Every structure is written in structure tokens, then in C-alpha cells.
Amino acid sequence: MDMDHEPYCDFRMTVRLEIPNKPGEFARLAEVFAAEGANLGAIDIVDVKPERMTRDITFDAQSEAHAQRVVEQLRKLPDVRVRSASDRVFLAHLGGKIATKAKIPVKTRNALSTVYTPGVARVCQAIAADRDKAFAFTTRANSVAVVSDGSAILGLGNLGPEAAMPVMEGKIMLLKEFADIDGWPLCLATQNSDEIVATVKAIAPSFGAINLEDISSPRCFEIEKRLKEELDIPVMHDDQHGTAVVLLAGLINALKVVGKEMQSIKVVVNGLGAAGTACCRMLLVATVKGRWSIRLARIWKLHAAISEAASVSTSQLLRCATFYEARTCSLEYRWAIC
């Protein structure tokens, strides 16, 4: 599937149609696509017989429902058979997006004896004598566990561990393609912080680093903090730190483009969850190191009391922030970081 040399559409469908092999038949199909507002793409001939022809036609739709409506209209055409309708996004995910691959071909008895028993026993004994050798003689040094509980998947919310798998596979593809790091998806069937910490600690000897992903706020703060304290390998929460790094890099470059200085801008952070809190902290660090004067405003409304998530997020920034206004009548709080 060549996805690199064509405009992207989130709802791109390919329909395989069997139609009469005579002039004017494709025109009937084109009329349906035009009437439904679908954008025609690739058109391929799959099979030709004296009486019938099979074509693959790719089109872009506005939504999943729109794509289904186009297919239904095609089904209604006389003497036209819709043999299949495939969604490009789902095709790309069919069977998963990642796989393991052996570094050494196992085609002879000697090769088998070297990579497995009896040869591997000597390596096991060497690592038992010096556990740090696991970083040299296994994949550990280049392996990252991508861990999620499925509680905050993208902008979709709490969908569970199985629904988190496509995102974790996608993250692992990025690690491999852009940094040649091997990742392993671990989607946990628990959203209990203690259980997540215990599970990650138990599997940590197999990995060189832990990447927490799509774990909801405020639990993500506690889980990351505890794992950093209790493990001797790097731990990061991508929703926090990955977002914050990109934000600061984009802000620095954007200011260069528009010719503005950091001290002349105001940054408004709309949302103080995992990503918003980490972005604030990153800007604070950048302010100190760069001696910039950044005014960072965050506004949120409270109902009866500050929610748990807001309380935890606020505590992350409290030592750096100056409370400058409180309107108790509307229960609105403002934070300014200068």
C-alpha cells in the first residue's frame, strides 16, 4: 500500500465493483460519486471478461457514515455488484502494524545450538554473575516498554487496554522508524495505580526504559513519580514530556518566524491535565535557563470545590506560581507564572 505519494484522507475507501463490460457503465458509477459528493481517486482494472469487468475504485469521503452511504448507493445500481469495500486505515492495521524479526538466520544445527540451547546457557550464567551484562548480550539496551491502561486514549477517553493497542503499535513504529529503538506494547487490564506500578516494576528487567502512554490524569503523575523513584532505568510519560518538548521547540521556532521575542508574549494554556501541566513546567524551566519573562495564564472554573485532577496539577506548579486573582463569586481561579 503506497500511502506516501498521495494526499491524506481519514476516510478513504476502495470498492471492488463488478459491472457489465460495455460502454457507458463507468459513467453510471461516476454519477453516483458526483451526486454523493465523494472525491474519486485511483481507478484500476482487476479482471476483464467478455461480459463482465471488475474494477477497484478508490474515493475519499467526509466521514465513515458518508462512505457507507456512497457504498449503499452503488449497491442500488442495476447490474452492479459490490464485491468488497475496504477502508484504507483499517487495511493498514490488519494483522497489526509491528512484528519481531530475528537478527541471526537459524538455518543450520550449529546456528540453532548457538542462539538456543546449549550455547545460550553460557550467556545466562554470565548475566547471572553480572546482571549489567544483560544490556550487552540481550535486546534490553535497545528495548522500550510502551505501557498503557487505556484510560486516556488520544482524545477518545477511557476505552480500555484492547483499544489502546493500535496507538501503542503506532508509537512503537515511530520509535523504530525514527530512532531504531525496539518497542513492545504492554496494555494492562487494570487502572489501579498500585497494580500498574507493581506490574511495570515486575517487567522492568526486560527493558532499557519505560514509556508510559495514555494514562489519565491525575494518576499519571503518581505512577510516573513512583516508578522513577523505584526503578534504575529511565521512565517517561509521553503525554507529558513528549508534548512539552514539542511545544517548546515549536514556540521557539514560531517566534523566530514572526520576529518576536519571548519576553513580549503571553502564553495561555487551555487545560491543566497531564500535557498542560508538563507544558507549563517546561516553559518555567525554559524561563529560568533563558532568562525570559513569560506570563503564563491558566483559567479554569470550579463547581463545588477544586477537583482531584486540578488539585494534583496545581500542586505540580504551586512552588513556581503566583496566585494573583481569585473571584469567589464565580469560583474562578487564575494563575500567572512570571
Q: Of the residues 8, 22, 107, 171, which is catalytic?
A: 171
Report residue 285's pLDDT band, with 50, 70 and 90 as the boundaries: confident
257-280 pLDDT tens trace: 999 887 777 777 777 778 888 888
Beta pairing class for 52-60 and 12-20: antiparallel
- What does the pLDDT average to over 223-245? 93
pTM for the whole thing? 0.75
Q: Name the range with the highest mean pLDDT among 212-216, 286-290, 302-306, 317-321.
A: 212-216
Contact between 77 and 15 under an 8 Å Cβ cutoff? The reply is no
Q: What is the pLDDT of residue 334?
A: 38
Task: Answer with the residue of higher pLDDT: 275 or 197.
Answer: 197
| Concatenated DSSP letters of 239-263 | HHHHHHHHHHHHHHHHHHHHT--GG
Contact between 161 and 201 under an 8 Å Cβ cutoff? The reply is no
- What does the pLDDT average to over 275-296? 64
Q: What is the pLDDT of residue 261?
A: 80
Beta pairing class for 12-20 and 332-337: unpaired
Q: Of the residues 116, 225, 260, 324, which is catalytic?
A: 116
Q: What is the pLDDT of residue 278?
A: 85
- What does the pLDDT average to over 280-289? 69
307-334 pLDDT tens trace: 454 555 555 555 444 433 333 333 333 3
- What does the pLDDT average to over 215-224? 90
Q: What is the pLDDT of residue 204?
A: 96
For 109-233, CATH number out of 3.30.70.1140, 3.40.50.10380, 3.40.50.300, 3.30.70.120 equals: 3.40.50.10380
CATH number corresponding to 12-93: 3.30.70.260
Catalytic-residue membership of 116 = yes
131-145, 178-192, 240-254, range with the lowest pLDDT: 240-254
Say if 12-93 and 109-233 have the same CATH topology: no
In the chain, where the domains are located: 12-93, 109-233, 241-337
- What does the pLDDT average to over 163-169? 96
Contact between 147 and 165 under an 8 Å Cβ cutoff? The reply is no
